[in-house]
């Protein structure tokens, strides 16, 4: 399951990194929280595993609304292995609803995937144009509509909490 998640995530990150075709000099790159344009910055840092990105690197990553929306859309595409882990992602007024694809009947996998997707999407949301100093509500469901997780605040993962304060 971890291999599939990493494959899907890697594909999405690769796509997002390609969206930022224009590179600005390092001195001109915006720091998180001071971005005034609708251009993403430092997306090349997202090519690595998100858990390997340092807090200092997260401070300079910024996603435009278009790039963040594209990332959410890419989550519902099949990965390199042909597996589709996310059936649908919807965003509406500070609420992000993720519907996991459990057609294979492995609903226990969905319970483990819920915190992963919550942490991943929340981290990217905080570094996007959507963030207005208020955490989104992230709801993770299965195909039957069963809510697997609903969080209005960042989950206690240690590393991410220090950044969210």
0.85 surpassed by pTM: no
Q: What is the pLDDT of residues 99-114, one digit of tens each?
A: 988 765 555 676 778 8
Residue 9 has pLDDT above 70, yes or no: no
The pLDDT, as a whole number, for residue 102 is 76
Q: How many CB atoms lie within 10 A of CB 107?
A: 14
Q: How many CB atoms lie within 10 A of CB 22?
A: 6
- As a whole number, mean pLDDT of residues 9-14 equals 47
* 124: its two tokens: 């990217």
* 100: its two tokens: 């996991």
User: Which stretches within the chain are classed as H helix?
Assistant: 2-19, 55-58, 65-75, 107-126, 159-164
């Amino acid at each position: 399951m971890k291999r599939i998640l990493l494959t899907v995530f890697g594909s999405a990150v690769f796509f997002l990194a390609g969206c930022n075709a224009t590179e600005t000099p390092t001195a001109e790159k915006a720091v998180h929280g001071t971005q005034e344009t609708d251009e993403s910055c430092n997306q090349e840092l997202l090519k690595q595993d998100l858990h390997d990105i340092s807090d200092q690197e997260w401070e300079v990553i910024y996603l435009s609304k278009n790039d963040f929306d594209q990332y959410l859309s890419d989550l519902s595409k099949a990965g390199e292995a042909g597996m589709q882990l996310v059936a649908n992602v919807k965003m509406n007024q500070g609420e992000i609803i993720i519907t996991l694809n459990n057609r294979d009947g492995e609903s226990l996998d969905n319970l483990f995937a819920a915190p992963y997707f919550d942490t991943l999407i929340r981290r990217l949301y905080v570094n996007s144009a959507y963030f207005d100093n208020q955490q989104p509500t992230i709801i993770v469901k299965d195909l039957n509509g069963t809510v697997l997780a609903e969080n209005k605040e960042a989950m206690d993962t240690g590393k991410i909490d220090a950044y969210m304060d």
